Structure 1
């Protein structure tokens, strides 16, 4: 019995060490805001993809996937954009169902993504009319956020979109990213139809993503009020990755871009400070793609926009975080299960 107690005591002590909050501030110690500003790769010269007009570049990039991408986009030609009704947003309050609102919303964004990729793959303008309609559809939406998240972020506490508030959350930020890429690649082509299309899109991206990110600190995922007791999860690297990429694609003022980049670094540092020394994902293995996977996205973006000045890919903690997904796998499609994550890991099997 004494041996069992001793073992448990040693185990508890090891957990306390592994769980200790540590104010590492890895990103801020990598560069000051002034150094970040000086290192910025401006005017989207960091983009690793071909220009829209570079047909050979896209053919080489997509290779054997090109024809399938175009065929997939063809299935969405003349797509009927689904209106997400007020009653569908409010359904979350009535029954707790997210699907009523999210399913039509997801069908719209999925169709748009297929159309966008098909146009980039083919480059003949065949998909531009549907892309234009999609751009206007999204611009006319009151919000890009989901009903379950609106309840938490809006002052009203309601699930119906409040036109007075722009919410930064997961789904909204993902769509903002896709629309930012749309603006980057296709604004010249859309201007040939009517300049108001890309002008409106740029306006909405500024209002719905860039301005709230730089002007607000009250979104809980920003972890602006840092404390060892503050819980910071996958939302932090995910939302910061969304915002940073939008700034990288849209903002060409060095001062403004530097301010946004450094603000994201401060916020993500607070996530890295929260992650324990063993590099484990406290949310469970099946959250790895949403947590550490999104951190990889963020750090990749940061490395590109600073020309390699700020990079943590050789940091031991970051390496341990990356390896966690493999170390937690126990075979036959299962991982060590804890927190609220599923034990079944089919969604990241390809990564291990």
Structure 2
């Protein structure tokens, strides 16, 4: 049965009981239950209380019209999104600190934040504000609220705060909870029920992370904020239908075409919504055997390189902020599907703590998860080889269960994936867990990030991936530009990925085959490109870490962790061109530092053979 079929297979009384008992079955106690809150993990609690205490000494951020208007004036999104996000984070931290301590000071701090959120003209981020854009205005219309990620995140804070602080809010600020419900109805429930044209519903078949992210937050709000049973029922029925649509769109191999960082806001959001539904039905929904939930839970361990580094394709950092990765979500998922490796991968990050900036619901659930509190950190269960045929991604390392040695990741796919970069056939190489032949990942989002001008951004273009520029042509965007003829061979000694890249380039009569091999016995990665004569061509490689030696047919690069790799090719092709590139984007420089390099090797004829090995000893 599908998720929707399972939901409606429950008796009407069971579904009604789930809605009426949702608050009691949430697993999150009210602030008045001091014995429940006082047994929380003391280290995690102390960190959050300290965060809220520090916030109390700072003025609340202002969300200004002039900052909102910058999206239309100069394309800058962060001028408004950052302070708006800071209001949400501070409110969440205060809610958690109030719950943990019972201190009225934090209750008042949380109430201040909640009312600030209620008084914001809009919860929608400017980049999503369609109504204002169509009118050539910069002021949102309060009578036509746009239901986006910002609105979903905000209403979820209201809902979780109401759940855990109910008694304290009634005592300290009577009337505030009524206001929370009014805002939820006006800005979220009515738009959700009355307008079914939202693109993130996926009714056109195009599904992405907005679907589970928004549906999950609306589910939370309906269960904890909406007192009318009929409205609850209507909202939850539509949420289940929407989540089912997303689940049905996911590949059987458990891959995520949006990449690892967005996995936390796609499949992981789906799992959280399913877990909440499972809780409020007292386990009667039992969705965990639905395909491909088990494979989706294994994606993080398959993408892990080590030391916080992950294989990143499309948008997303190669080293995400640990505070935005709620590992307890994955741990409970592993418990539900009874997968020891999934639990172990999550438990390896047990010391990361609980960060309110990842979401109030995530923080409250994580703190009240006794299994997570008692989880013992373990080594990462790194698989030696992972092939995801649906998303066409191979990740191979020299040894299982360790970051030691070389790791190779290479993808096929097409150039209309969610959060796409033009990267068909690109690869990355890591040494001892640290990427050195890299995918740059996500730049700071601006007005052009998801517009027709997206591919003006240098980091999303194929010439800034590890790919050829053929007869002067890069890869264009679009689903028609794709890999073909995929062949993957895995063995204890070697993993090989081979693909035809001809259909990824607008070059007539092109024939181009790329083969990438990790040879475990030799401790080497080999990239072999073979093509027909189509004109001047150059092979590009993007590198992190300082170059140390560069000569004809050889380049030595020190990794960001202080080790080194050697890239070698036919010396007759010369030394190539080594270009430094200043990284002035704060998201990119936070991962790669202020400078990356691009090695361009012009080639006159086929084939081109590149070998990558670890350099023994310290780089000079």
Q: TM-score normalized by structure 2?
A: 0.49
Counterpart position of 1:56:
35
Counterpart position of 1:219:
198
Please give the per-residue CA displacement for 1:197-225, whole angstroms capped at 9, x wherever unaligned.
222222112212222222221111112x3
Counterpart position of 1:17:
none
Equivalent in 277, 283, 289 of residue 252 of structure 2: 277
Q: Secondary structure at the match of 1:202?
A: helix
Counterpart position of 1:38:
14
Where in structure 2 are there 5+ consecutive unaligned residues? 328-344, 347-379, 381-620
CA shift for structure 1 position 52:
1.1
Counterpart position of 1:191:
170
Contact residue 156 and residue 220 of structure 2 kept, 8 A? yes
CA shift for structure 1 position 331:
4.5
For 2:139 and 2:308, locate their aligned partners in 1 and report how far apart those are by CA, in whole Å: 39
Counterpart position of 2:68:
89
Q: Secondary structure at the match of 1:210?
A: helix
- Residue 247 (str. 1) matches residue 226 (str. 2): no
CA shift for structure 1 position 196:
2.5
Relative to structure 1, the CA distance from residue 282 to residue 56 in structure 2 (aligned partners, 3 Å threshold; closer, same or farther) is: same
Of structures 1 and 2, the one scoring higher in RCO (CA 8 A, sep 6+) is 1
- Residue 289 (str. 1) matches residue 247 (str. 2): no
Where in structure 1 are there 5+ consecutive unaligned residues? 1-24
Q: Secondary structure at the match of 1:96?
A: coil
Q: TM-score normalized by structure 1?
A: 0.83
- Residue 27 (str. 1) matches residue 6 (str. 2): no
For 2:227 and 2:310, locate their aligned partners in 1 and report how far apart those are by CA, in whole Å: 44
Relative to structure 1, the CA distance from residue 49 to residue 277 in structure 2 (aligned partners, 3 Å threshold; closer, same or farther) is: same
Contact residue 73 and residue 115 of structure 1 kept, 8 A? yes
Contact residue 215 and residue 239 of structure 2 kept, 8 A? yes
Q: Secondary structure at the match of 1:126?
A: helix
Moved over 6 A (4+): none
- Residue 134 (str. 1) matches residue 113 (str. 2): yes
Equivalent in 171, 174, 178 of residue 157 of structure 2: 178
- Point out the structure with max Rg over C-alpha: 2
- Residue 169 (str. 1) matches residue 148 (str. 2): yes
Structure showing the higher helix proportion among its residues:
1
For 1:33 and 1:142, locate their aligned partners in 2 and report how far apart those are by CA, in whole Å: 41
Equivalent in 80, 87, 110 of residue 89 of structure 2: 110
Relative to structure 1, the CA distance from residue 79 to residue 36 in structure 2 (aligned partners, 3 Å threshold; closer, same or farther) is: farther
Please give the per-residue CA displacement for 1:152-176, whole angstroms capped at 9, x wherever unaligned.
8975465532222222222221221
Counterpart position of 2:562:
none
For 2:273 and 2:28, locate their aligned partners in 1 and report how far apart those are by CA, in whole Å: 18
Relative to structure 1, the CA distance from residue 166 to residue 46 in structure 2 (aligned partners, 3 Å threshold; closer, same or farther) is: same
Counterpart position of 2:435:
none
For 1:140 and 1:337, locate their aligned partners in 2 and report how far apart those are by CA, in whole Å: 38
Counterpart position of 2:508:
none
Relative to structure 1, the CA distance from residue 164 to residue 157 in structure 2 (aligned partners, 3 Å threshold; closer, same or farther) is: farther
For 2:301 and 2:12, locate their aligned partners in 1 and report how far apart those are by CA, in whole Å: 33
Equivalent in 98, 101, 125 of residue 119 of structure 1: 98
For 2:149 and 2:32, locate their aligned partners in 1 and report how far apart those are by CA, in whole Å: 31
